[in-house]
């Protein structure tokens, strides 16, 4: 199986999921989102100083995601509270299970309640949905796109659900799409000539991987033929087959194979990729598909917090 460069989780996490820790890059992203969420929840509450315990309970089956973010939330903004987890990140949990306890003064627990539930609900919903996609796609890898609602929090949830993060930022890997080629086009060049020239200039690029959008078989042949003369098979270029569908993607894959070019590229299917079309994409010859449907427009995982009485 082709090794894909689209797993960027190492830039978010150091070590394994249990004993490791978030990278400074991930922490910076967490802090940005958390600062905004906490700001929106200032004020309110009953002002009570009594100690209470809140239990977060699942109202449906799903995969838990968001522990590092919740731990950071408590550490930075609610240090007087304490959280005790009953599950590990990425664990499949059944309806009715208690996943964490939070203790602290009533006024603080009530302030954190909605932030905590929103984070866990949204991130667990993404992880659960991604896991569903990954299972249906079987051997075909599924990846997120740059379209996110919560930035790296979405990317982390996709990773926990078994998907590939794809690029984490514009600087993470080079991607050239239709608009890029239009902006780089000179007055006397055809579109094909621009693609050929720009790809030939990529031999000096030092990043981890390069993604080139192609919209038809001709463009695919141009890119891979140029790339073949730049680097060897160990440094495959990614062809983003955007909005051409699984049938045309299969034609591209077979044609590249017949012409001895398939080993120089990774084929990524994207654009209008839906859950119900995953079986057809699995037979299209691409190495992975990418879709914003992994993390956008999903229903959050349903969970609730139940407060217990005063802790003595």
Same domain, 119 and 200: no
- Same domain for 288 and 303, yes or no, is no
What φ, ψ does residue 86 adopt, rounded to 5°? -105, -5
Based on the domain organization, do 283 and 303 belong to the same domain? no
Query: Do the domain assignments include residue 168?
Result: no
Residue 16 shares a structural domain with residue 126: yes
Q: Is it the case that residue 241 has pLDDT exceeding 90?
A: yes
pLDDT of 252 above 50: yes
Q: Is 60 exceeded by the pLDDT of residue 44?
A: no
Span 227-253, average pLDDT: 87
Spatial neighbors of 5 by CB under 8 A, at least 6 apart, are 173, 208, 209, 238, 266
Residues with Cβ within 8 Å of residue 236, at least 6 apart in sequence: 2, 263, 264, 265, 266
Asked if the structure places residue 103 within a domain, the reply is yes
Residues 106 and 200 in one domain: no
Domain match, 266 and 290 both = yes
Together in a domain, 124 and 201? no
Domain annotation covers residue 146:
no
Q: Is residue 254 a part of any domain in this protein? A: yes
Does the pLDDT value for residue 117 go beyond 90? yes
Instruction: Give mean pLDDT, residues 133-158.
Output: 95
Residue 253 pLDDT > 90, yes or no?
A: yes
Q: Does residue 18 surpass a pLDDT of 90?
A: no
Question: What percent of the chain is predicted at pLDDT more than 90?
Answer: 75
Considering the domain architecture, whether residues 179 and 90 belong to the same structural domain is answered as: no
CB atoms within 10 A of CB 274: 12
Domain hosting residue 70, numbered range: 9-131+299-307
Beta-bridged to residue 93, according to DSSP, are: 62
Within a domain: residue 99?
yes
Q: How many domains does the chain have?
A: 2
Question: Which CATH number goes with the domain that contains 79?
Answer: 3.90.1170.20
20 in a structural domain: yes
Mean pLDDT, the chain, whole residue set: 92
The mean per-residue pLDDT over the stretch 153-168 comes to 97
Task: Give the chain as a DSSP string.
Answer: -PPPTT--GGGTEES-TTT-EE-HHHHHHHHHHHHHHHHHT-S-S-----EEEEEEEESS-EE---HHHHHHHHHHH-TT-EEEESS-TT-EE-TT-EEEEEEEEHHHHHHHHHHHHHHHHHHHHHHHHHHHHHHHHTTSEEE--S--SSTHHHHHHHHHTT-B---SSTTTSEEE-HHHHHHH--TT--HHHHHHHHHHGGGG--SS-EEEEE-SHHHHHHHHHHHHTTS-TTSPEEEEEETSHHHHHHHHHHHHHHTT-GGGEEEEEESS--GGGHHHHHTTT-SEEE-GGGTSSPPPPPEEEEE-----
Distance CA 212, CA 195 (A): 9
Q: What is the model's pLDDT at position 181?
A: 87
35 and 59 share one domain:
yes
Per the domain annotation, does 145 fall within a domain? no
The CATH number that applies at residue 179 is 3.20.20.70
What confidence score (pLDDT) does residue 233 get?
47
Same domain, 105 and 188: no
Tens of pLDDT along 275-284?
A: 999 999 999 9
pTM above 0.85, yes or no: yes
Q: What is the pLDDT of residue 297?
A: 84
pLDDT at 43: 59
Answer whether residue 188 is part of any domain. yes
Residues 303 and 256 in one domain: no
Express each pLDDT in 184-239 by its tens digit. Answer: 887 788 888 899 999 988 877 777 889 999 999 999 999 999 999 886 545 889 99
pLDDT for position 204: 77
Co-location of 85 and 179 in the same domain: no
């Amino acid at each position: 199986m082709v090794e894909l460069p689209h797993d960027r989780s190492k830039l978010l996490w150091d070590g394994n999921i249990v004993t490791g820790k978030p990278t400074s890059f991930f922490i910076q992203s967490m802090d940005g989102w958390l600062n905004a969420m906490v700001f929106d929840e200032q004020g309110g509450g009953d002002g009570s100083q009594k100690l209470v315990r809140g239990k977060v309970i699942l109202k449906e089956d799903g995969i838990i995601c968001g522990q590092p973010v919740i731990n950071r939330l408590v550490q930075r903004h609610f240090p007087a509270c304490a959280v005790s987890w009953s599950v590990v990140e990425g664990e499949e949990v059944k309806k009715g299970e208690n996943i964490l306890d939070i203790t602290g003064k009533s006024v603080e627990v009530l302030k954190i309640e909605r932030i905590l539930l929103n984070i866990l609900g949204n991130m667990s919903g993404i992880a659960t949905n991604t896991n569903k996609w990954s299972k249906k796609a079987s051997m075909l890898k599924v990846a997120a796109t740059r379209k996110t609602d919560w930035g790296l929090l979405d990317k982390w949830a996709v990773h926990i659900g078994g998907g590939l993060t794809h690029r984490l930022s514009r600087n993470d890997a080079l991607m050239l799409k239709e608009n890029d080629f239009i902006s780089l086009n000179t007055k006397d060049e055809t579109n094909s000539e621009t693609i050929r020239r720009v790809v030939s200039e990529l031999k000096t690029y030092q990043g981890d991987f390069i993604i080139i959008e192609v919209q038809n078989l001709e463009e695919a042949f141009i890119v891979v033929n140029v790339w073949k003369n730049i680097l060897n098979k160990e440094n495959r270029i990614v062809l983003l087959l955007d909005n051409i569908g699984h049938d045309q993607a299969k034609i591209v894959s077979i044609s590249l194979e017949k012409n001895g070019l398939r080993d120089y590229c990774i084929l990524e299917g994207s654009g209008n990729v839906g859950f119900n079309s995953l079986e057809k994409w699995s037979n299209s010859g691409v190495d992975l598909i990418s879709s914003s449907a992994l993390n956008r427009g999903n229903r959050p995982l349903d969970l609730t917090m139940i407060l217990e009485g005063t802790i003595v």
